[in-house]
Amino acid sequence: MNRLATLGAMVAVLLPFQAVTAIRAIVFTTGLQQPVAFVADPADANVFYAVEQGGRIRIVRGRTVAEDFLDLRGAVSTGGERGLLGLALAPDFTTSGRFFVNFTDRNGDTVVARFHRGGGAVADSSSRFDFKWGSERAPAIAQPFSNHNGGHLAFGPDGFLYIGLGDGGSGNDPQHLAQNPSSLLGKMLRIDVNVPDSHETGYTVPADNPFVSGAAAAARPEIWSFGLRNPWRYSFDNPALGGTGAMLIADVGQNSWEEIDYEPRGRGGRNYGWRNREGAHPNVQSAAPAFEPLTDPIHEYDRTQGVSVSGGYVYRGRSLGAAFRGRYFFADFGSGRVWSLGLNVNANGDATAAGLTEHTADLGGTGQLGNVSGFGVDQAGELYVLSYNRGVVLRLLADIPPPSGLRIIR
């Protein structure tokens, strides 16, 4: 063995332990038009589906925007808060190819539709089936105004599909719809979509939905919770990666307060208070809420911080380091700021927020972030940020300083 090889075998470089306390963002993909959702393919870690508000779902393969997965531009009304707003892949998407979208149709009403992936990598547009709502079998959920459509879709740990609907729009919910038990608007819905393609409505109502029995309130059985203004992104703390299964809802405020709501796993039947409350504060109270008590948010911020909250995820990945695991990341669309919150979960499963930290500057500032319309998460729990106006998806990484104090031990 030569001298260099011997020396190499004897040398060890020791790095002092460095806890990760900061993060950074890198550009993951570009070339999108007004992205509002970013969904990972469960079977291929290199494939994502980017939802564009204008009506296209783009395939992102590696870091390159490839062909369309689905083009709904002919069916969607867009502009303002309307458009193609949500995508959820069925828990068995790898085998069934089923997925679900939420969009405003040409009349401005909300459609939730099921599709199948075709024989190749793209969707079969002819497989479209629009859910039929309630006993009247309505093919869409009527929206009285153009704003506050909600639009997000997500499967919970229980395998059911959750649908977040805004209050129908205008200002201060003039028809008090978020508290109307007969309206689906201003609510979180929970339905079972594991039905045959031939099923008449496309879904059934889970027997344990909180209003099925009428005990809490005589309400539409699809309703999971009341009192939302415009839930712009909600997510579940992923149990498969060590999370609690809780749902966190970012609800956009009216004139004063943006809020984050926390719901322990399986604890539906709550009333988050809109329009009687904005955040934790009294608002329009000329009509009573559907029922009480009203559940306050775990976090709120005023107009000095931002104007339109965009919800994210509880971080359960590895690359950012242990200090960030269990923290909830969210943003503000208008101000282009990003924060994370610590969550202190008690024995009953409820949580309080602690340790608010802003990451805007670390992530490149508002110039890099732009208008943050949402977040994405990959199979490993790593986070992505959607820049709506820039058409860019950013990936979050640990900002590890260069090592110092190296020494060689023989």
147: tokens are 């704003």
Domain ranges for the chain: 3-409
CA–CA separation, 259 and 57 (whole Å) = 29
Note the pLDDT tens digit of each residue in 216-270: 678 999 999 999 999 999 999 999 999 999 999 999 999 999 999 999 999 999 9
CATH architecture of structural domain 3-409? 6 Propeller (2.120)
Count of beta carbons in the 10 Å neighbourhood of residue 54: 16
H or E element, residue 5: helix 3-10
Give me the phi and psi of 368, to 5 degrees please: -80, -40
- Rounded to the nearest integer, the mean pLDDT of the chain is 93
Question: Position of tokens 């490839």?
Answer: 66
Q: Determine contact, residues 271/226, Cβ cutoff 8 Å.
A: yes
Give me the phi and psi of 4, to 5 degrees please: -65, -40
- The pLDDT, as a whole number, for residue 213 is 82
Query: In order along the chain (410 residues), what is the average pLDDT of each group of 10 residues?
Result: 39 40 94 98 97 98 94 97 98 97 98 94 97 95 98 98 98 98 98 98 97 81 98 98 98 98 97 98 98 98 98 98 97 98 97 97 97 98 98 95 61
Per-state percent for the chain, helix, strand, coil, to nearest 5: 5, 40, 55
Q: Determine contact, residues 391/31, Cβ cutoff 8 Å.
A: yes
Q: Which residues, 6+ apart, have CB-to-CB distance to 189 below 8 Å?
A: 162, 163, 164, 165, 222, 223, 224
CA–CA separation, 262 and 46 (whole Å) = 31
CA–CA separation, 66 and 87 (whole Å) = 18
CA–CA separation, 402 and 399 (whole Å) = 9
In Å, how far from its chain's centre is CA 383?
Answer: 12
- The pLDDT, as a whole number, for residue 406 is 56
Question: Position of tokens 């790095």?
Answer: 15
Note the pLDDT tens digit of each residue in 6-53: 333 333 333 333 455 799 999 999 999 999 999 999 999 999 999 999
